[in-house]
Structure 1
Amino acid sequence: WDVVNEAIDDGPRALLRRSPWLEAIGEDYIAEAFRMAHAADPDAVLIYNDYGIEERHKREKAVRLLRSLLDQGVPVHAVGMQCHWRMERPDLAEVEESIKAYAELGLQVMITELDIGVLPTHYSGADVGRQESMQGREAVMNPYRDGLPDVVAQQHAERYRQAFAMFHRHRDVIGRVTLWGVHDGRSWLNHFPIRGRTDYPMLFDRQGEPKPAFFAVVEALQPPIALAE
């Protein structure tokens, strides 16, 4: 179960985001949610899920929150890293450090909402109601309306290959990898944070055919082939 989702604040100071739960119950709402979920289903794996916690600025907050919960005996079993990524960020070395940091807390790591967008954006928050305009900037903000150039498709595939190679290295602590969609045509990134764009974040294209990224993932998960001497 994803018991608590996106509770950590994006800013440099506050630990928790302002939310109706925080205002009505106080900071204990997270611990109480996990305790109630555990009481309802004692065998369930209970997850704290958030975006951006694979990057250093939010990882430190997430570790602080999770360590506090564990010190109180709160039944948290795993941390979910959403992983809505772009071509240029995050730094995968930073992601790997985050996987190790959460594993050191004794938690499983789940990759819960993976996609890798190829279009530029300036917003990385969680307000899905927010919309930016690309008026006068269409050529820059929506450059692949007529198809993804082969060179970009190969770069996208390499990004996926590196990501899954990293996940495979840490398969002892990563419980699952879930992608946030199936094919490009149904991705939320076509409409967020700018409506009407043409993005290519998934492993399958708009016709449901596997892309170079799909084959890169398969390659990353193949065991090495022993060459005969």
Structure 2
Amino acid sequence: MKAQKFFIYSALAGIGLGFVQKSEVPLKDAFKKDFYVGAALSYRVTSGRDAKTTALVKQQFNTISPENLLKWEAVHPQPDQYNFKPADDYVAFGQANKMFTIGHTLMWHQQTPKWVFEDGAGKPASRELLLKRLEEHINTVVGRYKGKIAGWDVVNEAIDDQQGDLRKTKWLEILGEDFAAKAFEYAHKADPKAELYYNDYSLYRPEKRAGVIKLVKSLQAKGIKVTAIGMQGHYGLTKPTIDQVEASIVAFSKLGVHVNFTELDIDVLPNPSRRQGADIAETFGADPKYNVYTTGLPDSVQQKLTKRYADLFALFHKHRDVIDRITLWGVTDADSWLNDWPIRGRTSYPLLFDRNFQPKPAVQAVLQAAK
């Protein structure tokens, strides 16, 4: 890319998009020869009820993921009931804006209704019944968006946090160790051209990395293609280290798969847990000492956030031969899930754009990494 100055805070003149101060080069254009850059969207955006966020998404990103609306409880809440309107709007938004559209997620132990794992009497479903439900769900959902959704997070967070073993879930308990293989088989059958991913958090940890490698190798041994491993990227200002993240990129690429960073954000707030990850079941009560920047982010912390994003995107750019996509989990700080996890009601600052839809200094640092 030719050397050029990036004027991050140049205001747009006139009306219409005047609330968005845009960078000289949008993120999607700065990295267009390297990988997609995108964001996870809420239904408020894809339904057309948030014009400011929508404008920012169109301006900066070329791939989108759905936060919740394609999770099982949202799209298939009852055995004979599908709720496709939000998902239809999301996919239509992606198509209208020529974006690489992601489906998230087909198999997860969270946000899956209880009825999925029970028979008509409320007792545990048999393997046969659960497989039938899984195949019907995947065939219906993936089939509906065949040729429109380009890639699917088929299996989400199936590896245990601590030891790297298969997580103890209803999927494992009822189906056995081939639960992931079945999900990938059904997804490939429903849309043979779609990219299929395994997605998880804390994959910089050696134990968890080893568990994912074992899982993917077991799928490959069955002739099942995994297009990429999604590293969620819910990181802090200092942990994990860049070397730890890079070690997993290299290790996964040796499997012959690509790598996506699927849920990137940087938590600048004190963490009440000693664990680093994204286990949504782990929550805490309100405590002011974990909500310390209620009136704004101090410049010293803003500088740390800027350097953190710069270092990460420099790493992504270095490995652009195996990285296909970087997706931020949210668009602006205002809509980040970290405002409510692991403690509800916090004022969090984890993304590249602030609550006024303005690029942070981190955006300029990220753009420099593209050069």
Same structural fold, with TM-score higher than 0.5 when normalized by the shorter chain: yes
In structure 2, the residue matched to 1:151 is 300
CA contact (8 A) 2:235 2:276 kept: no
The 3-state SS of whatever aligns with 1:46 is strand
In structure 2, the residue matched to 1:130 is 282
Find out whether 1:26 has 2:179 as its counterpart.
Answer: no
Match of 2:189 among 39, 56, 59: 39
Runs of 4+ more than 3 Å apart: 123-127
In structure 2, the residue matched to 1:203 is 352
1:182-193 alignment runs, 5 A limit: 182-193=331-342
In 2, Cα distance between equivalents of 1:41 and 1:213 = 38
The 3-state SS of whatever aligns with 1:116 is strand
In structure 2, the residue matched to 1:215 is 364
In structure 1, the residue matched to 2:45 is none
In 1, Cα distance between equivalents of 2:296 and 2:188 = 47
Letter in 1 for 2:177: E
Find out whether 1:165 has 2:314 as its counterpart.
Answer: yes
Find out whether 1:50 has 2:200 as its counterpart.
Answer: yes
In 1, Cα distance between equivalents of 2:278 and 2:234 = 11
1:59-208 alignment runs, 5 A limit: 59-121=209-271, 122=273, 123-135=275-287, 138=288, 140-208=289-357
Change (3 A) 1:20 1:126: farther
- How far 1:61 sits from its partner (Å)? 1.1
119-128 or 69-78, which deviates more: 119-128
- How far 1:179 sits from its partner (Å)? 0.5
- How far 1:212 sits from its partner (Å)? 0.9
User: Which stretches in structure 1 are left out of the alignment for 5+ residues?
Assistant: 223-229
CA contact (8 A) 2:237 2:268 kept: yes
In 2, Cα distance between equivalents of 1:159 and 1:77 = 28
Find out whether 1:5 has 2:146 as its counterpart.
Answer: no
- How far 1:129 sits from its partner (Å)? 4.0
Bigger radius of gyration among the two: 2
CA contact (8 A) 1:54 1:83 kept: no
- 1:196-228: CA deviation from partner (whole Å, max 9, x where unpaired): 111100000111000011111111112xxxxxx
CA contact (8 A) 2:286 2:343 kept: yes
% identity of equivalent residues: 52
In 2, Cα distance between equivalents of 1:77 and 1:162 = 26
Letter in 2 for 1:97: A
In 1, Cα distance between equivalents of 2:154 and 2:267 = 27
Query: How many aligned positions are there?
Result: 218
Letter in 2 for 1:23: E
Change (3 A) 1:125 1:219: closer
- TM-score normalized with structure 2 length: 0.57
Q: CA RMSD in A?
A: 1.3
The 3-state SS of whatever aligns with 1:61 is helix
- How far 1:20 sits from its partner (Å)? 1.8
CA contact (8 A) 2:234 2:278 kept: no
CA contact (8 A) 1:112 1:179 kept: yes
In structure 2, the residue matched to 1:225 is none
126-135 or 158-167, which deviates more: 126-135
Letter in 2 for 1:205: D
In 2, Cα distance between equivalents of 1:56 and 1:86 = 18
- How far 1:116 sits from its partner (Å)? 0.5
- 1:102-137: CA deviation from partner (whole Å, max 9, x where unpaired): 1000001011000011011114454424321243xx
Change (3 A) 1:65 1:202: same
- TM-score normalized with structure 1 length: 0.91
The 3-state SS of whatever aligns with 1:113 is strand
51-60 or 177-186, which deviates more: 51-60
CA contact (8 A) 1:53 1:81 kept: yes
